[in-house]
Structure 1
Amino acid sequence: MCQHNPPCPPADAPDRAAARSVARDEVLGWALLCNGTVVFEDTGELLPDGRVVAPQRPLDAVRVAA
């Protein structure tokens, strides 16, 4: 799928989020990577095969409702 040299990591690689962005929506907070992965600003991911990767943000970054 990736036409870059060197190629971006595939969607099943641990470093898949390092792939280049081919489309993004800043308002909705997502980006489509050239390996078919959709990454969200909360660090969650949707893989091309439909699997969901839960957000991986650190606990101290989670906002507490006041």
Structure 2
Amino acid sequence: MVTLSELEAQAMQLPQDQRAALAAHLLDSLPAVLHDDDEGVAEALRRDAELDRDPSVGMTLEQFKAAFGR
């Protein structure tokens, strides 16, 4: 039986477009993280209320870009 690390090593040898297709297929096979009746609206409203209560928990666009190296 192939181990996860062996499978990952093999997958990394695929061309970029094939790796992207494989990744998309694997992600599509998983349940949605925010799978609920309101499609995540409740979580968005909770986060918005949290920012209203304490704006310091948020970040500026510049901080966001810096966090992702852009």
The structure that has the greater radius of gyration is 2
TM more than 0.5:
no
Which structure is higher in helix share?
A: 2
| Bigger RCO of structures 1 and 2 (CA < 8 A, at least 6 apart) | 1
Which structure is higher in strand share?
A: 1
TM-score band (shorter)? under 0.3
Q: What is the TM-score when the length of structure 2 is the normalising length? A: 0.22
Q: What is the TM-score when the length of structure 1 is the normalising length? A: 0.23
